[in-house]
Amino acid sequence: MLEIGSFLSDRYEILSKVGAGGMSDVYKAKDHILSRFVAIKVLKQEFSEDSSFVTKFRAEAQSAAGLEHPNIVNIYDVGSENGLYYIVMEYVEGITLKTYIEKKGQLSFKESASIAIQVARGIEAAHNKNIIHRDIKPQNIIISTDGKVKVTDFGIAKATSSNTISSDVMGSVHYASPEQARNGFVDGRSDIYSLGIVMFEMVTGRVPFDGDTTVAVALQHLQEEIARPSIYAPDLPISFEKIILKCTQKTPDRRYQTIEELLTDIRRSLAHPDEDFVTIAPLVDGGKTKVISPDELDKIKEGRGVAEDLNDDDIDADNGDEYADDEDDDDEYDESLLDDDDDEEDDDDDDDGKLLNPKMDKAITIMGIVTAVIIVIVIIYLALSVAGVFKFGGKKNSESQQTESQTQTESESESETQTETEGQMIDIRGMSVEDAQKAVDRLKLDLTVFAFETKQSDEKDGTILEQDVKAGDTVKRGSQINVVIAGKGDSTSEMVKIPSVIGKTKSSAKSTLESAGFSVTFEYGDYN
């Protein structure tokens, strides 16, 4: 434990301890080089000598360091000193969403939707970099004093280069998806499930599943259907209720497939709360309840999926748990643990090995025929393979094609992102300002054509003579294109200067602009 007033790397002065998790402590500190407050997460001394824990601790910084988004706590620095390993991150003045819910009891629909949008945008930024958070819960969501919502603690997140990964650790069990509970495959839809549980807790003031042990809670995630939130929040709009229910489906294929889809529906719900527009795919197996046998339950208790050491009572609410011990990383549960138990025939055999009845004789005959057919098919396949009709290595080729396809998809995604933020300017000379505005609108870059100077010309009044961003030059989204137009003015026409209103209130900004001779209207974009 660091002493108050001590320094790390002759730069960070420790001011106070603000939280503690399973593997690390969190301190408020002052960066004396950049003169700002920061939060420092320090690996506990008892774990710093264990290389596996140190590797996980560094992995947290590596996962989150590349994420820069207004709804994610930024990572500034990572280092070690005298056997202490630490991560320096943005210090957010505020409280966790967990504390906020406990204080208010239940949040309103609009407040819950607004918080969910900001959390989803932070998760979306991580998913776009192939990082799955895996531990979305109110304890890892901070509401700053200025109302900004930020996602923190990527302690068990993992960067991936493929669409799905195998989970070897699990976040807090109250918010863990069914696939995490059984140690199955985890992808972005697992974060969507956890966010759905968080939304449920915001509007109802309670978690949908609770129990005395982590095993009991995990089994509820696996077997029991979530209650309709409107049972506890009667005024909840149907659209938001169905959004929560779709997020928390047991089967990932029945949830939202991307955070973008979820964001679209939440925004639509804010605009049309009583509209029943959310569609949930039907169950493919008729909705039968999955039953876990006692033997399989014992396996789950012994395995990593619902480890008994992940008990929320041992977790500080302001920081959340950090890492789960994964000495049994290689142990995975078979997907069949959730399947219905197959009925086994209880046929008795004679001690002398005689067949009991003609039915068994018939069954053996049929099995013999099936076996013979399979052998013939294998022989034919091998013969054709030798002849060159079939080629081996199909799996490898398939994997190669999949990698190429994925690379192409990522490249296209980067290209689309580039197109959204900047593009090439077009030639608008010879057009009127109105026609030019329509032309640049087709670039979908939110450009504004502004006539700042008038010159005498033989051209028709209002015709654009010059533009400050030439055709073919790169222009950023939201830029203003200044143009010179033909008119009755002269070459010494005075440039119109727009007064700065940055940082002013709406009324003050309006007054300032109107005093300068401008007509003012306000438009609002998406909630941020």
Listed as own residue / partner, the contacts of 311-314 with beta carbons closer than 8 Å and 24 or more positions apart are 311/213, 311/214, 312/172, 312/173, 312/174, 314/22
- Residue 310: which of 245, 234, 221 has the closest Cα? 221
Rg for the chain (alpha carbons), in Å?
31
E strand map for 56-109:
75-81, 84-90, 94-96
- Residues whose CB is less than 8 angstroms from the CB of residue 427 and which lie 6 or more positions away in sequence, other chains included: 467, 470, 471
Report d(CA 365, CA 229) in Å as an integer. Answer: 56
DSSP state of 67: -
CA dihedral 319, 137, 145, 153 (to 10 degrees): 50
Name 96's bridge partners: 142
Cβ atoms of residues 230 and 241 within 8 Å = yes
DSSP helix/strand/coil, 41: strand
Cβ atoms of residues 69 and 150 within 8 Å = no
Q: What are phi and psi of 29, to 5 degrees?
A: -140, 170
Cβ atoms of residues 137 and 163 within 8 Å = no
Indicate the length of the chain as a whole number: 528
Name 454's bridge partners: 485
Report d(CA 18, CA 285) in Å as an integer. Answer: 49
Q: What are phi and psi of 158, to 5 degrees?
A: -150, 125
DSSP helix/strand/coil, 39: strand
Catalytic pick among 25, 77, 135, 458: 135
Q: What are phi and psi of 432, to 5 degrees?
A: -80, 165
DSSP helix/strand/coil, 515: helix
Burial class of residue 170 (count of CB atoms within 10 Å of its CB; 0-12, 13-18, 19+)? buried
Does residue 274 carry a catalytic annotation?
no
Catalytic residues: 135
